[in-house]
Chain A
């Protein structure tokens, strides 16, 4: 029962509303009935709702993908629609690390330090083929996937991904946050302080992740593909 739509549609006067409320036996009348001053919900829901709609990205842009990231922030694609108009160039005030572009070994400690400086809770996106796996650059200077350096939540494929791709990746982060719970958040996102400044993956994992794949190093025609083993990581099993 609304305040306006009683039969004829004329607005009720305050006196009429109070009278109506008292007729139905309510203290304080009808005010407060049609528009509740409180609602019941779960803390998880509210916290996650707030978190996922005001993510502040930390744009760690290095190469081509950074240009697409700028295009995402510019007027045509407008990241601000997702509560992300505030690009936080300081890692201390950021929630999502967007690693866009190639990461050579010389840059790896910088990336790790930025990740370490970010406050919990934090998420990370690996944007583009080079950040996710080294891409075509299977060379002496390139990190073969930033997941050997820092943990990664969402990989956005593409070379470079279109802005829609990045936005989809960010929406996946939002979806992931929606399913998180404060009770298991700590176990999910806890960081071992002894890992600060150290690789995210251990030596065997790095070798497995960064093994020569395809014909990237054997470009002589029609050579067989190099063997790679599938890496097993415990985090993959977590929700």
Chain B
């Protein structure tokens, strides 16, 4: 065998830039996102995200639907935390109507929203772990998600597309024993979370893939419109549950985790801690869940009881009109935001006093978060780009709407 001499390239040698398409059909883009990357070797010079591959025209369709008919559209937008979207939409409409829901309904919605925060973070955790090369956390996370699926199904009849809220309340009260199942989940879930954390938090590969990757300062993050865990990982203390509380969040005892470095690892840590804090809120909400009606008794929005409809002509006409014409919302506009699982999730509803909205707008947290990826990924390797994309926790259904 003859000896071969390999000539190494000189350091600092620049090659021709190269154009690479990632997506729209790619397992690491978490949906149908297209990233047009300009590469120098393996270094990303520039990323141009191309979105709209899942543009479903929710906002246009909403203008053709009555107010309550929009609820089923909301959970098809973010299928990772459907109940949260159900809730925030009706909360915005209720605020525009000046409608105060019952105490029980408030706590029920807090329960559902916090449960779905865990639901969404678990999917993020599983898919992100796959992106760094770990398959086991995905299986663990889906095992736990399956339990929340069952909770969804026991309450709403559907695994993902829950459509559980109505303006003025919920579609129904919890079935018997549901809170016990949720309590059981709250008690046993931390064990699995610990197991997943022991697989990732101090794992050398995971640390290597996430530490100091995709760093953004707090000021930049705010200027770019980051919200939610992504913003808090950069050290900005902004959580709508604390800063502009709704549904008595100020009376719940929980902490808001704040990161320091604003890199992928901090975003990971913040979300892991958020799941634990959500469990604390769930515990307290289960404790205080009051008895009483779940729906308001306001003739503008609530249907008369079935018995009344059968025995009373006026109730029947009332029922008929509410169903066929839909409820009417006073003229005006209202922006209502909650702390969603991915950031500030707002709904902006505009009414002209009719049965359908003039405009229904979703303030999309992932849309704004994703727009920062070009800045975050610059100068990193392609493999880091995948990690950065995963750490932003995007859902394409809501980005493209």
Binding site for B on A (CB under 8 A): 59-64, 66-68, 70-71, 74-76, 87, 89, 101-102, 104, 106-107, 110, 114, 136-137, 139-142, 159-160, 162, 217, 219, 221-222
Picked from A74, A142, A160, A217, the residue with its CB within 8 Å of the CB of B142 is A74
Secondary structure dominating the interface of A = loop
Task: Decide yes or no whether B335 CB sits under 8 A from chain A.
Answer: no
User: Are B123 and A106 closer than 8 Å at their CB atoms?
Assistant: no
Interface size of B in residues (CB-CB distance below 8 Å):
40
Q: Which residues of the other chain, A, contact B72 by a CB distance below 8 angstroms?
A: 136
The 10 closest A-B pairs by CB, nearest first: A74-B142, A139-B57, A64-B79, A221-B324, A107-B53, A89-B27, A141-B55, A141-B57, A75-B139, A76-B146
Picked from A61, A64, A221, the residue with its CB within 8 Å of the CB of B76 is A64
Stretch with Cβ within 8 A of A (4 or more), from B59-67, B270-278, B383-391: B59-67
User: Are A67 and B54 closer than 8 Å at their CB atoms?
Assistant: no
User: Are A68 and B160 closer than 8 Å at their CB atoms?
Assistant: yes
User: Are B142 and A70 closer than 8 Å at their CB atoms?
Assistant: yes
Which residue of chain B lies nearest to A89 when distances are taken between CB atoms in the complex? B27
User: Are A140 and B60 closer than 8 Å at their CB atoms?
Assistant: yes
Known pairs A64-B79, A136-B76; list 13 more (Cβ under 8 Å). Answer: A63-B76, A63-B397, A68-B159, A76-B143, A87-B27, A104-B56, A106-B52, A107-B24, A107-B53, A110-B24, A136-B73, A137-B61, A219-B356
Q: Which residues of B169-200 are within 8 A (CB) of A?
A: none
User: Are A142 and B160 closer than 8 Å at their CB atoms?
Assistant: no
Q: B33-66 toward A: CB 8 Å interface, digit per residue (1/0)?
A: 0000000000000000000111111001100111
Q: How far is the CB of A125 from chain B (nearest CB, A)?
A: 16
Q: How far is the CB of B80 from chain A (nearest CB, A)?
A: 7
- A75 CA to B396 CA in the complex, in Å? 25
Binding site for A on B (CB under 8 A): 24-27, 31-32, 52-57, 60-61, 64-66, 69, 72-73, 76, 79-80, 123, 138-139, 142-143, 145-146, 149, 159-161, 324-325, 356, 396-397, 400
- A76 CA to B145 CA in the complex, in Å? 10
- A114 CA to B31 CA in the complex, in Å? 15
Picked from B54, B64, B160, the residue with its CB within 8 Å of the CB of A217 is B64
- A9 CA to B61 CA in the complex, in Å? 76
28 sampled A-B residue pairs with Cβ under 8 A: A59-B27, A63-B79, A63-B396, A64-B76, A64-B79, A64-B160, A67-B79, A67-B80, A67-B123, A67-B160, A71-B142, A71-B146, A74-B142, A74-B143, A75-B139, A89-B25, A101-B54, A104-B52, A106-B52, A110-B25, A114-B25, A139-B56, A139-B60, A140-B57, A159-B161, A160-B159, A219-B65, A219-B356
User: Are A104 and B55 closer than 8 Å at their CB atoms?
Assistant: yes
- A63 CA to B159 CA in the complex, in Å? 14
